[in-house]
Amino acid sequence: MTPGDESVAESARAVHQGASAVRRVEAALAHLAETEPRLHAYLHVRADGALADAAELDRLGPEARAALPLAGVVVAVKDNLVLKDTPTTAGSKILEGYRPPYTATAVARLQAAGALVIGKTNLDEFAMGSSTEHSAYGPTKNPWDVTRVPGGSSGGSAAAVAAGTALVALGSDTGGSVRQPAAFCGVVGLKPTYGRVSRYGLLAFASSLDQVGPLGRRVADVAQVFQVMAGRDPHDATSVEGPPGGPVLDATGSLRGLRVGVVGSQRDQAGPEARTALDEAVVALSDQGAVVSEVDLPHSRYGIAAYYLVAPAEASSNLARYDGVRYGVRGEGQDLAEVYLHTRGEGFGTEVKRRILLGTFALAEGYYDAYYLKALKTRTLLAQDYRAAFRSVDVLLTPTVPETAFRLGEKLEDPWAMYQSDVMTVGANLTGLPALSLPWSVTAGGLPTAIQLTAPWLEEARLFSTAAALEASRAQPWTGPAGEGRGAS
């Protein structure tokens, strides 16, 4: 049995009832050994550590096991989330050899709940990318079709879940980096409300946009993992508490009376396969009693431009710490300026350099008002658009991405075309809203499509209930990339 063959609840229940956690890790490692040569989803496989953690879990008594909601659940973690004494690179040569002295809060909470971390997953360098081709350690490939990208920047995490080497995985989402790869790989991905999950231990890209989010095969799996991770953290001043009780799936599966707004402008931007998926979801919602109407987000067409000013500006500041002096790779030089020059010139990849330069330019004297300040004003207008929309609807529906997974190398030489992959996801980051990508169908070409749900601040429960009802309404049981059956629940 591989991790993808059961739900989080089933996996934990089995361990609560005496099943061996060590056996679960051994099965996951064996499956990983089969899939990794063609996928490259992982940068570091934590075989000894995961087996040791599993053995410790097996030694616990029945009552102690039963108190762990994620007992024996095999998880993977994106390699920009630190794990104590474990290699952490953020997909960059500049951090080669770095072993952090502490663990990220989101990861620590999963481990405290009994989850077993099997490895660190591949990503676009410092989470800057939409295809996982910008990793300094080589690209990850899509389990549905290895000639195509898995999306990014959390492509390794999405591929690991889709391939069944981990039951759930953690990613980070700055402009769509959980939801876009979830869509390309046919898994569920959540970008929580900004602050709902602690960013402590997440290597910063753009601090006002970054958020840690889970990926899984099922809505219930993502909801359960989210409930463990979420909550206030004294190490993160931006973290917030959510509604008491946390997200609970609506057991009735009824959507009667739910007001759903379809963002017409984003439907128009989608390709034919994405539009078909959206239209089918609208029918499914209507069949379950939801009231569907079209809404407008007038400033959403400026979202990509605003994002690619705000995010690089924050990145240019956050990445200044990688100087070759305190940790990571150190370049040689005759003086400090040369050390900085060689360290950053040799340690950072092309896409990271591009974004640092763009962000530094946007913040420069004489350009700040024309670019960065205007982007901030656009961000405010976009937030007002969403608030206005949520006065008349409960949840927004769009495609997650405008197209299915593109081919490896197809957009590497055209950054603007690559950036367009995020056109439907950046809005949730710019406004801090929670959003979820749900796999919907499989095209005639054998690639997954997806839809995206967005809710008001702190309304993850609404996302989960809506997505779970839609998940159950699909005409055919969901299948994994190899065609193996994956039920909706």
Distance CA 112, CA 156 (A): 24
Question: Burial, 370: exposed, middle or buried (Cβ in 10 Å; 0-12, 13-18, 19+)?
Answer: exposed
What is the rounded distance in angstroms from the CA atom of residue 77 to the CA atom of residue 215? 10
How many residues are present in the chain?
489
Q: Which of 92, 130, 153, 316 is catalytic?
A: 153
Asked if 285 and 440 touch (Cβ cutoff 8 Å), the reply is no
Task: Render 163-197 in DSSP notation, one character per residue.
Answer: HTS-SEEEEE-SSSTTHHHHHHHT-EEEEPPTTSS
177 is known as an active-site residue? yes
As a whole number of angstroms, the distance between CA 295 and CA 465 comes to 21
Catalytic one of 78, 141, 191, 411? 78
Lookup: tokens for 14: 């089995």
Per-residue DSSP letter, 327? S
Encode burial over 169-199: b for 16+ CB neighbours within 10 A, e otherwise.
bbbbbbbbbbbbbbbbbbbbbbbbbbbbbbb
Rounded distance between C-alpha atoms, residue 371 and residue 309, angstroms: 7
Peptide bond preceding 153 in cis form (omega within 30 of 0): yes
**CA-based nearest residue to 453, from 463, 442, 444, 461:** 463
Q: What radius of gyration, in Å, describes the C-alpha atoms of the chain?
A: 21
Torsion of CA 217, 222, 224, 229, to 10 degrees: 140
φ/ψ (deg, to 5) at 180: -65, -50
Residue corresponding to tokens 């070759």: 324
Residue 60's identity, in one-letter code, is L
Determine contact, residues 107/83, Cβ cutoff 8 Å.
Answer: yes
Q: Which residues contact 369 (CB under 8 A, 6 or more apart)?
A: none
CB neighbour class for 421 (10 Å; exposed up to 12, middle 13-18, buried from 19): buried
CA 49 – CA 116 distance, rounded (Å): 9
> How far apart are the C-alpha atoms of 111 and 107, rounded to whole Å?
6
| Three-state DSSP string of 304-326 | HHHHHHHHHHHHHHHHHHCCCCC
153 flagged as catalytic: yes
Question: What's the token pair of residue 295?
Answer: 């809404």
Catalytic residue among 11, 92, 130, 177: 177
Q: Catalytic positions, please? A: 78, 153, 177
